[in-house]
Amino acid sequence: MKRGRQRDLFDRCEVCGMLYADFKTGLTYQDIYDLRWREDTDSSTWLYKRRHTILGSWREIKQALWAQHLNNCATGEPDAPLELEIVTDEDIEY
């Protein structure tokens, strides 16, 4: 395991004491795969769905949700729902 990632696993919420390693996104590998699916016949719009790409996307999502968790705990709302903001092609202005 790389040194930078090892540090992530032991991050702890200062308020509730939860470890980053114990924090769960509630998503599965298949959920992340499906988020990258494009229903387009034009293959140039398709996203990579290889193992490392899926795991990397999942890590980004976990880090974003962890940041929300830390913010919720810091503001005194530890039970506030975490929201996953999904950006789609329609949301991007070219």
Q: Is residue 3 part of a domain?
A: no
Provide the token pair at 70. Answer: 């830390």
What distance in Å separates the CA atoms of residue 2 and residue 25, rounded to the nearest whole number?
Answer: 22
- Domain range for 57 is 29-89
Q: Is residue 1 part of a domain?
A: no
Kindly report, residue by residue over 22-68, the tens digit of the pLDDT. Answer: 999 999 999 999 888 877 777 777 777 889 988 999 999 999 999 99
**Which residue has tokens 């990632």?**
5
Q: Is residue 13 part of a domain?
A: no
Q: Can you give the pTM of this predicted structure?
A: 0.73
What distance in Å separates the CA atoms of residue 89 and residue 7, rounded to the nearest whole number?
Answer: 34
Q: Is residue 60 part of a domain?
A: yes
How many CB atoms are located within 10 Å of the residue 69 CB? 19
Q: Is residue 14 part of a domain?
A: no
Taking Cα atoms as reference points, which of 39, 32, 49 lies closest to residue 86? Answer: 32
- Give the chain's domain count: 1
Q: Is residue 50 part of a domain?
A: yes
Q: Is residue 39 part of a domain?
A: yes
Q: Is residue 81 part of a domain?
A: yes
